[in-house]
Chains A and B, each alone.
Chain A
Amino acid sequence: MAKIIVVTSGKGGVGKTTSAAAISTGLALRGKKTVVIDFDVGLRNLDLIMGCERRVVYDLVNVIQGEAGLNQALIRDKRVENLFILPASQTRDKDALTKEGVAEVLEKLKAEFDFILCDSPAGIERGAQLAMYFADEAIVVTNPEVSSVRDSDRILGLLSSKTQRAEQGQDPIKEHLLITRYNPQRVTTGDMLTLEDIREILAVNLLGLIPESEAVLRASNQGVPVTHDGASDAGQAYADTVARLLGEEIPLRFHEMQRKGLLSRMFGGNRR
Chain B
Amino acid sequence: MSLNVDSADVAFTFKGGMLPMTVMELASADPEHIRRQLAGKLSQAPAFFQHTPVVLSVEKLDEPHLALERICAVCRDHKLLPVAVRGGSEPIRQSAWALGLGWFPPVEEGRARILESVSERTNDAVDPAATEVVEERAADAPVALSETTRLYRGTVRSGQQVSAAEGDLVVIGAVNAGAEVLAAGSIHVYGALRGRALAGIHGNAQAGIYCRELEAELISVAGTYKRLEDIDPKLLGVPVEVHFVKEQLEIKPLA
Residues of A within 8 A of B (CB): 150-151, 153-154, 156-158, 160-161, 200-203
Contact = CB atoms under 8 A, between A and B. Distances in A.
10 contacts: A150-B178, A153-B155, A153-B157, A154-B158, A154-B178, A157-B158, A160-B157, A200-B174, A201-B174, A201-B194
A150 B173 CA distance: 16
Q: How large is the interface on B (under 10, 10 to 19, 20 to 34, 35 or more residues)?
A: 10 to 19
Nearest to B176: A153
B142 interface: no
Q: Is the interface of A mostly helix, strand, loop or mixed?
A: helix
When A and B form their complex, which 10 residue pairs have the shortest distance between CB atoms, in order from nearest? Answer: A157-B157, A153-B158, A154-B158, A154-B159, A153-B157, A157-B160, A203-B155, A153-B176, A150-B158, A157-B159
A201 B155 CA distance: 9
Contact of A153 (B173, B178, B192): B178
Contacts of A201: 174, 176, 194
Interface in B201-243: none
Main secondary structure of the interface of B (DSSP, over half): loop
A150 B177 contact: yes
Given A157-B179, A201-B176, A203-B173, 10 more contacts: A151-B158, A153-B159, A153-B177, A154-B159, A156-B157, A157-B157, A160-B157, A161-B160, A203-B155, A203-B174
Contacts of B192: 200
A203 B154 CA distance: 9
A151 B174 CA distance: 16
A107 to B, nearest CB: 30
Interface string B161-204: 00000000000011011110000000000001010000000000
Interface in B73-118: none
Contacts of B157: 153-154, 156-157, 160
A151 B157 CA distance: 10
Nearest to A204: B155
Nearest to B157: A157
Considering residues B155, B158, B178, B192, which has the most beta carbons from chain A within 10 angstroms of its beta carbon?
Answer: B158
Contacts of A160: 157
